[in-house]
A and B are shown apart, each in its own frame.
Chain A
Amino acid sequence: MDYLRPDSLEQALAAAAGGARVLAGGTDLYPLAGPRLKGPVMDLAALPGITGIAEGPEGLRIGACTSWTAIAEASLPPATRALQQAALQVGGRQVQNAGTIGGNLCNASPAADGVPPLLVLGAKVELASATGTRLLALEDFLLGPRRVDLRPGELLAAVLLPRAGLAGVSAFGKLGARAHLVISIASAAVRLEVSGGRIEAAAVAVGACSPVPRRLPSVEAALCGPVEGAAARVDPAAVAAALAPIDDVRASAAYRLRAAAELVRRAVEAAL
């Protein structure tokens, strides 16, 4: 059988162990498929619990096959605004309707728009296998361009947003050479916890400027302090020091570094 549609996790894990390619939204798999998508392919859509957003004591659990549209249209806390803004900028409407958060992560593009907002939320990934479930920080899951820490027989089942990361406000911004359907030249997400006119905690992540999107701890540290003048405390040199962009058809590396700093600054302003 070339096309599997498991309806239980056991079946899915067995198929995964057998080496079937995982089909989530199809928006990355089909473009590379040539005239025909060759199997064996495992379509996750029928798996219980693989789609949808659930709230639990630990935080939010987003099923790996939850679409970007579902994320954009869900009623979620303000800290996830960056994620919801990114959800409306992944491809066009058609790709948002089909494309999934789990697929975006497993595809591991340096420019994946979903990643910076998830990094600032402190997201974890839930990896299921026949031997149990492994929880991994998103930073540790993403290894490099098109490389993730997914062991043979493992499936990305869900993205977890721990309660601690769901505090505060956030914003996402991306820069491309056109308005829609565009791969980011650079992107940035910022989450800020504000209390009494002070930024008590900050999380900043930048995409498309390093092999995988990165958190920027030194920039985060500098942001903590008075709300007043926060954006001005984003030091371009500190942003640049944390990143390692490349020159490509979309932009030069030097430009990406400057754009990243500017996007972070603007995301700070937008979040506040």
Chain B
Amino acid sequence: MIRFRLNGKEVAAEAPPAERLSLTLRERLGKTGTKVGCDAGDCGACTVLVDGWATCACLTPLARVEGREVTTVEAETPVLTRLRAAFLAEGAAQCGICTPGMLMAAAELLERRPQPDEAMVRQALGGVLCRCTGYARIVAAVVAAGQGVAAPEAPAAGRAVGAALPRLDGAAKVAGDLFGDDVVPAGALVVKAIRSPHPHAAFRLGDLAGFAARPGVAAVFTAADIPGRNAFSVIPPFADQPAIAASPARFRGECVALVAFEPGAETDLSDFPVEWHPLPALHSPAEAEAEDAPLIHPNRPGNLLIEGRVRRGDAAAALAASAHVVEGSFATAFVEHAYIEPEAGAAWLEGDTLVIRACTQAPGMDREETAAILGLPVDRLRIIPSAVGGGFGSKLDVSLQPLIGLVALKTGRPARMAYTRGESMASTTKRHPAGMRGRIGCDATGRITGMEFEGRFDTGAYSSWGPTVANRVPVHVSGPYRTPAIHARARAVHTHGPVSGAFRGFGVPQAALWQEVLYDRLAGKAGIDRLEFRILNALRDGDTSPTGNALQAVGIGPCLEALRPSWRRGLAWAQEGKGRGIGVASCWYGCGNTALPNPSTIRIGITHAGEVVLHQGATDIGQGSNTVIPQIAADALGLPVGALRLVGPDTALTPDAGKTSASRQTYVTGRAAQKAALALRAAVLRLANAGEGSVLTPAPGRLLVTEGTIRREIDLRALPADPRGYALSAEESYDPPTRPLDADGQGIPYAVYGYGAQLVELEVDPALGTVRLHRITAAHDLGRVINPLLARGQIEGGIAQGIGMALMEEYLPGRTENLHDYLIPTTGDVPPIDPILIEIPDPEGPFGAKGLGEHVLIPTAPAILNAIRHATGAEIARTPALPHRILAAMEGRE
């Protein structure tokens, strides 16, 4: 028995002395606020204080804290109270998974230095990784906590849209929210996967019954146990990925068997009976497209998953007639999402309904895919998304849902699973590596004449979002510039690499690296300032896109023009010192699915007791839909946002609001919320026989409707329950009006686009090739800013991911499957960011709003490379631009 003080109280734990303190806290003492992100001291999520010292609980033996004071995020101390308030007010928590670690690291600092400056804060928090925020709000919050924080005021009715409202789900985030591994049914079996150590291997399973009979082992499952269709894909016609593979395994990390252990048993898989026979693997699209290459999927000749195409005008002729033409190629790496929460969840049976609570971005898709795999009708499966500790696209695909579902279904017992960091990195999706080449031309005045583009994307072993990437890239590869003639093709090619899927931007960030770097060279050839070249060519209202549709509410011109003062200042700054440079790049990005239906449905009800309930099914993975959707609904309804009670997301309680992807929630679900709120308001006004300008006031059992001096009252208790069980309710759907693309990619892929442009100022060390980012100015057109605090957080966080992609991130299977070899930016790697929020309202968006989530990442990496070229002359044609590659490029060796 090991005794210590935990948050001021004596506790005792009966546990092995060498047990990780993080495990003791979470599993034995119920303190799940301490999060586990890596079990290796690489991420800092599990930071606790031991006698006041910030320590990774995953590296601390329980015995070490005997007789000492351990402080976790569950503690109530004056410093933590101040920090929590500041984190809320500054928008420092997005997904919330790193928040406990950040709070505790900050608490150590504030206990020692009550009023730290920014540099001290950045140093003190350097050991905690955050993938969402870009750190700026966190650092600002800790500085503010030292200064004393003023709580923001709640906006009045009708004033929620546009208000910098702190996250409505923020209190849970700063207390240690409940993520996938934080709610565990009693007696849950612990599920572990056997995974392929090879990119391509046949395997033979041995004495499974013998293994299953071992003490502590409850059951073993293989592909043979899958009751339904053992093939899934986020795009059902492409379903090809087994939940549990039968031989052969097609990528390193693929699951080939499951072991369910009794709770508390040693989860030792070291002598699981499996024999591996490695087979030759296709490591790159070039190998996969070679004439004699074996087929990874027999029904996909040439290992081609799909090719996306856009053809408009005669690009070859346009280029031939151009005054200036530039040609170039660009290559990108696998990029890992590196959310701090590895996949985790639990499954159990309620009657004959299988319930799966796990981290996800897409409860509706999880339900359909998992039901198909498990051979269940969808109405016997309920998906409850946990708080999600970052997703960025990868948690759109099912991971452990079918696995824990299978165990619960087969054993009748609850089952839980949490991926290790290595497992998460090896087995889940990545950003597609891209090999891109082509030409762009302009006339003598600098106007773009035409573009030819060919991209080859390594889509890995299974389809996932490969089709989406192949379709999105040609549609976006022109960038937000008038391009009269274009011929663009993008192929998604199978290899035995990790499954490439969705990652913030679906291939568009890769394409932007090719096109924006070339535009700089084209501007140079035309003798035009790089920013002015982009302004000259910027799409304007009424222009036709490469897919042949007339555009409205085009915000790129205003975004670029808003950068002019910073550009002038930046040019002057760059001239003052050696090795300094500035770069600019743009983005445009269609919100929602590409030319495919993607409706969202929102329900709002008023109970007989007078409570207004918003059924909000859009999964909030940190981006803010739990706040933004209520803001939209509240203003459309005419109630203060605080009057709404949020329900969901939960497939049993919320209508389908689609997936959190494609920058669609604010726009698509927001529009559905607006429609539902307006419909409910109209119903109320009709019932009260009141006019449009009436003020609604909910009260116990009643709804007051005031119109000038006339006051009416709806007696809610007297109303019959409607089919949804409410006194009054409305449910509305919105589906963006798109039109399918033809063979030349002509159609209406999106109803709404968002736009942005970023300016990077940096210094390159002439001897080391290292980059010091000085400042980034980010102008983004949001149509209508629903919440400037959250918008800023999206911009800063997206830029941080762009910095990582540009300068340090490269996933190498088997080599960088951890967070110390795979590097993401830390507090010291993100410079000051100045957001400029532009509002060019789109008639399709709720209150004019457009999407933002992915846009923010797209311009960052190319703007960095353009600034490096400006600073040094180095033309980088490959990311990440690691110091040795930059130095080589500076010397013309690469």
Contacts and interface: CB of A to CB of B under 8 A. Distances in A.
A249 B39 contact: no
Interface in B748-797: 767-770
A181 B884 contact: no
Given A26-B61, A69-B53, A95-B127, A179 B883 contact: no
Contacts of B47: 94
A181 to B, nearest CB: 6
Interface in B506-524: none
Nearest to A5: B63
Interface in B243-300: 266-267
Nearest to A23: B61
A56 B812 CA distance: 50
A7 B826 CA distance: 39
Interface string B56-97: 101111011000000000000000000000000000000000
Contacts, number: 148
A272 interface: no
Interface stretch (A27-35, A127-135, A162-170): A27-35
Interface residues of A, number: 44
Interface stretch (B17-25, B624-632, B650-658): B17-25
A95 B40 CA distance: 10
Contacts of B125: 93
Contact of B884 (A2, A5, A31, A251): A251
Nearest to B270: A34
Contacts of A151: none
B427 to A, nearest CB: 17
A91 B41 contact: yes
Interface string A33-45: 0011111010101
Contacts of B815: 249
Interface string A41-78: 10101000000000000000000000001000000000
Contacts of A146: none
Given A2-B17, A180-B828, A249-B810, A43 B887 contact: no
Interface stretch (B404-412, B696-704, B711-719, B817-825): B817-825
Interface string A156-179: 000000000000000000010111
Contact of B56 (A35, A37, A98, A177): A98
B550 to A, nearest CB: 45
A185 interface: yes
| Interface residues on chain B, size class | 35 or more
A11 interface: no
A93 B105 contact: yes
- Of the candidates B60, B61, B108, the one having the most CB atoms from chain A within 10 angstroms of its own CB is B61
Contacts of B20: 30, 37
Interface string B303-335: 000000000000000000000000000000000
B883 A251 contact: yes
Given A37-B18, A41-B18, A262-B768, A31 B40 contact: yes
A183 B829 CA distance: 15
A45 B67 CA distance: 14
Nearest to B101: A94
A147 B716 CA distance: 78
B270 to A, nearest CB: 9
A98 B19 contact: no
Contact of A94 (B56, B768, B820, B884): B56
Interface stretch (A136-144, A189-197, A218-226, A252-260): A252-260
A182 B882 CA distance: 14
17 contacts: A3-B63, A5-B63, A23-B61, A26-B64, A30-B20, A30-B41, A30-B58, A36-B266, A41-B18, A92-B128, A93-B105, A94-B55, A98-B60, A175-B768, A182-B826, A262-B767, A262-B768
Listed from nearest, the 7 A-B pairs whose CB atoms lie closest are A92-B127, A179-B828, A180-B126, A255-B884, A31-B40, A3-B17, A180-B826
Given A37-B20, A249-B812, 19 more contacts: A3-B17, A3-B18, A23-B18, A26-B59, A94-B41, A94-B56, A97-B54, A175-B770, A178-B824, A179-B828, A180-B126, A180-B127, A180-B828, A181-B826, A182-B820, A182-B823, A255-B887, A255-B888, A259-B768
Interface of A: 2-3, 5, 23, 25-27, 30-31, 35-39, 41, 43, 45, 69, 88, 91-95, 97-98, 175, 177-183, 185, 249-252, 254-255, 258-259, 262
